[in-house]
Structure 1
């Protein structure tokens, strides 16, 4: 998607042992992204701001962090229409200046903290949570019996949660599935799976967007979770399960954070290898969770 978008704007791309992009001059174009990729949209957006002429970015991602980048570019002097929609119109080339800009909250981190509060049955106030972007996330957690309260721009997770999975109409087994924004985010499916292990009832988790996101559930099963992995995209979780400590390896950012949540609520000690992955999406995570009462210790990786 990145390559196709930049090619449509005039870049020449060659692939040998590396990708090489050459563009003496970018030109505005009618660009259709073959999938609404967040980072591909952001790359195309930045390129379009520098390109000569008008660019239409269609099937663009519209997640809050894409909106944040677009609003930042506008603050610098870019002319962008349709921010927050799947079609953005960029008038280039822009003459950019300087600006002071406050980065918006990370809705994925907020959703992860909701899961943390739920699995530890702890009250939590998340300040400056960006509540306007949390509708689908809150709806997803409400399906697991977790209800949050809004106070201004703070999100409060009370401790007296039912943690009872809500049946679908007619008593059918409920389903939680991800889709492109503004639906429930793919990056929170791993967190929702761990949270569901601590909730009463049965739920089907349907990961539609990525092929390998479910492949960490064997680690949760080893900790005592009752999960049936149906295929690379679907898993059935029955809870609640009493988890116990285990040694795990983080395959990616979101699964790593999910493992951390499982370890925090499990009995005993857990070890998570390849923990640097987690910090790609969660800055100073052990410092902040320890301030909330967790007991997390960073240790050097063993060699050999």
Structure 2
């Protein structure tokens, strides 16, 4: 496994452009299965998870032309639906959570889909009930093959239905939407996710000929159509990268400009970092972070300790809680981080404690950070990246620390952040990739 060898305590300076959105890409690339026509996608992030998804498309039978590392054309005019039931597909999809997003389009267009046990981060249970129940309400039949952990869905004809989702799952909503766009009649999805990435998917499907209304709200209405056509689509900037760079600038006392952030689609992300005392200026679609010697965490109006928690959009995405937690370690003041969705995502804090941070892990979902206000720097250690977001949080800690750190298992970081060592080294960081 590869590692990063990181020299800490180096001030960064310059401009950085966020990659295309990872979480959007996995949905959008899956949606190309809904049409025989050519679909062109731009601003694709060149990361492991997305590249695996593109490889899966090719193996299913999609014609893929990679014009550049960030632009691809897809044409799904010769698909083998039975490949998804093969051992080869199960092995590849076990490495990728996003493989589940293929089910909705395959069910809509071919009347059958296979869902293997999902891969991805080891951050706790990530159930698929919302996906499966939604498909069943559209008329799909469900069978679980225990011998190979494979879920099979079949439907001679999908029919529109009313459904109230038990949770506003982003991937669940996206999967159900992709199944419903070619179902007979009207589908109504209440308690739907409404993240910008889901809005992007719905807008793309409408350009392809779908009839989806209520986009951006938690009530989607879909009038089924018989077929969809090709389109062009550009990915949004990755909001998780934007938040990561804000935290990086604060922790390393660096002056950074984050370019082309898609400010209108960031929601409350900038506000949450400002609650930690981080200054920023908005210049068009750019965010300028000045170098700050200190930053102080706000309290609530009654003087009680600030709590930062994840919540469905327009609340704070859970993917940024690891970044906010590490950023708070060098602030003045305290904050309670409440990770509601995943019960294993805060377990990386023991590594920050080993570096000198003051953190109390209250339970699997909550951690209290007592900011040390730069009274002393964190110190470098050897550690391992447990998942994508924790891995980047540890990289940010290492860049701010005294001495050298080694971060192992950086394949986790590569799954979500493209060329992160090269891009940060261009700003003045000292990160060596060791095979």
Equivalent positions of 1:28-47 (< 5 A) are 28-47=160-179
Which moved further from structure 2: 190-199 or 90-99? 90-99
Normalised TM-score (structure 1)? 0.94
Aligned-partner Cα distance in 1 for 2:229–2:267? 34
Aligned-partner Cα distance in 2 for 1:249–1:21? 38
2:423 to 273, 280, 288: 288
CA apart distance, 1:268: 1.8
Aligned-partner Cα distance in 1 for 2:136–2:306? 43
Asked if the contact 2:211–2:225 (Cα under 8 Å) also holds between the matched residues in 1, the reply is no
Asked if the contact 2:310–2:340 (Cα under 8 Å) also holds between the matched residues in 1, the reply is yes
**What secondary structure sits across from 1:204 in the alignment?**
strand
CA root-mean-square deviation? 1.5
Asked if the contact 2:187–2:222 (Cα under 8 Å) also holds between the matched residues in 1, the reply is yes
Matched, 1:186 2:318: yes
1:48 to 165, 180, 200: 180
1:219 to 330, 345, 351: 351
**What secondary structure sits across from 1:67 in the alignment?**
helix
Asked if the contact 1:130–1:153 (Cα under 8 Å) also holds between the matched residues in 2, the reply is yes
- Counterpart for residue 118 of structure 1: 250
CA apart distance, 1:140: 0.9
CA apart distance, 1:225: 0.6
CA apart distance, 1:94: 4.9
2:229 to 77, 90, 97: 97
- Counterpart for residue 382 of structure 2: 247
Matched, 1:73 2:205: yes
Aligned-partner Cα distance in 2 for 1:297–1:216? 22
Aligned-partner Cα distance in 1 for 2:384–2:294? 31
Matched, 1:163 2:315: no
Output one character per residue of 1:71-112: Cα deviation in whole Å (capped at 9) or x when no partner: 111222211111111111111125322222211112111111
Which moved further from structure 2: 279-288 or 225-234? 279-288
In structure 2, relative to structure 1, the CA distance for the partners of 1:94 and 1:269 (3 Å cut) is: farther
In structure 2, relative to structure 1, the CA distance for the partners of 1:98 and 1:297 (3 Å cut) is: same
Aligned-partner Cα distance in 2 for 1:148–1:7? 47
In structure 2, relative to structure 1, the CA distance for the partners of 1:24 and 1:155 (3 Å cut) is: same
Asked if the contact 2:305–2:336 (Cα under 8 Å) also holds between the matched residues in 1, the reply is yes
Asked if the contact 1:201–1:238 (Cα under 8 Å) also holds between the matched residues in 2, the reply is yes
CA apart distance, 1:147: 2.5
- Counterpart for residue 7 of structure 1: 136
Matched, 1:269 2:404: yes
CA apart distance, 1:125: 1.2
* Gapped regions of structure 1 (runs ≥ 5): none
- Counterpart for residue 194 of structure 2: 62
Output one character per residue of 1:238-263: Cα deviation in whole Å (capped at 9) or x when no partner: 12252111222222111111111111
Normalised TM-score (structure 2)? 0.66
In structure 2, relative to structure 1, the CA distance for the partners of 1:186 and 1:161 (3 Å cut) is: farther
**What secondary structure sits across from 1:258 in the alignment?**
helix
Asked if the contact 1:214–1:232 (Cα under 8 Å) also holds between the matched residues in 2, the reply is yes
Q: Which has the higher contact order (CA 8 A, sep 6+)?
A: 2
- Counterpart for residue 433 of structure 2: 298
Aligned-partner Cα distance in 1 for 2:381–2:249? 21
- Counterpart for residue 110 of structure 2: none
In structure 2, relative to structure 1, the CA distance for the partners of 1:64 and 1:85 (3 Å cut) is: same
Equivalent positions of 1:18-37 (< 5 A) are 18-37=150-169
**What secondary structure sits across from 1:104 in the alignment?**
coil
CA apart distance, 1:161: 6.4
Matched, 1:144 2:276: yes
- Counterpart for residue 263 of structure 2: 131
Which moved further from structure 2: 188-197 or 63-72? 63-72
Asked if the contact 1:10–1:25 (Cα under 8 Å) also holds between the matched residues in 2, the reply is yes
1:177 to 291, 296, 309: 309
Asked if the contact 1:77–1:94 (Cα under 8 Å) also holds between the matched residues in 2, the reply is no
Aligned-partner Cα distance in 2 for 1:282–1:112? 10
- Counterpart for residue 73 of structure 2: none
